[in-house]
Amino acid sequence: MKKIVFSLLGLFALCIIVAAFWIVRALSNLPDVAVLKHYRPAAAAEVVDRDGNFLTGYYDRKFRIWVPIATLPDIAIQAVVIAEDDTFFEHEGVNYKAVWDALRHDVKKKRFARGGSTITQQMIKNVLLSKEKTVTRKLREFVLARKAEEILTKRRILEIYLNEVEWGENIYGIEAASRYYFERTPPN
């Protein structure tokens, strides 16, 4: 009986060590979220006013136009928040209930079928991480989302998200989507 107990304890300890090693390895070499304070993708061309203030940029991807969040109508911002992450203004980067619900759903489906990511997590994934669906990427995303929420305002997170999210094949950002789908810029 003692052999079984010690074997089980040893196996449990080994599992803890392997899990700890995996976590340490997954969280090593994380990108610096501080770069997001002044982030804007490299532009092929930028448009500035006569005082040198940035107005918009044109980028390498087929449809990408960066716009400051101040130029977007509040109704468009609110619509995206309601559709993508209705708890955005309440959480600190991660909505644990949504993650738990998505995990339960994925286990039932036996595949990554549903996401539980917040706007902050999606922004982190789009700007700093890969789009691969792995547990390691998700763990890194959690940690970076929490860090981003510590140093960025919600408004800055939304600005990056709205300009980085893919709104269709090769259509990046709300301005490009508005022009592509509605043949106009979002009204102010």
> Can you tell me the distance from the alpha carbon of 185 to that of 188, in angstroms, rounded to the nearest whole number?
9
What average pLDDT does this structure show over 46-58? 75
What average pLDDT does this structure show over 85-105? 89
pLDDT tens figures, 100-127: 888 788 778 777 666 779 999 999 999 9
The residue that leads in pLDDT, 113 or 147, is 147
What average pLDDT does this structure show over 2-29? 81
What average pLDDT does this structure show over 152-157? 97
* Least confident segment among 26-30, 45-49, 150-154: 45-49
Instruction: Give yes or no for residue 187 having a pLDDT over 70.
Output: no
Instruction: Give yes or no for residue 28 having a pLDDT over 90.
Output: no
Q: Specify which of 22-36, 137-151, 158-172 reaches the highest per-range mean pLDDT.
A: 137-151
Q: Which fold has domain 32-182?
A: Penicillin binding protein transpeptidase fold (1.10.3810)
Q: Tokens in use for 94?
A: 């991660």
> Can you tell me the distance from the alpha carbon of 110 to that of 119, in angstroms, rounded to the nearest whole number?
25
45-61 core/surface letters (b: 16 or more CB in 10 A; e: else) = eeeeeeeeeeebbebee
> Can you tell me the distance from the alpha carbon of 77 to that of 66, in angstroms, rounded to the nearest whole number?
15
Task: Give the predicted TM-score (pTM) of the model.
Answer: 0.78
Q: Tokens in use for 123?
A: 């922004």
What integer pLDDT is reported at residue 143 of this predicted model?
95
What integer pLDDT is reported at residue 63 of this predicted model?
62
What average pLDDT does this structure show over 77-90? 95
What average pLDDT does this structure show over 81-88? 95
> Can you tell me the distance from the alpha carbon of 143 to that of 157, in angstroms, rounded to the nearest whole number?
15
Secondary element (H or E) of residue 30: none
What integer pLDDT is reported at residue 108 of this predicted model?
81
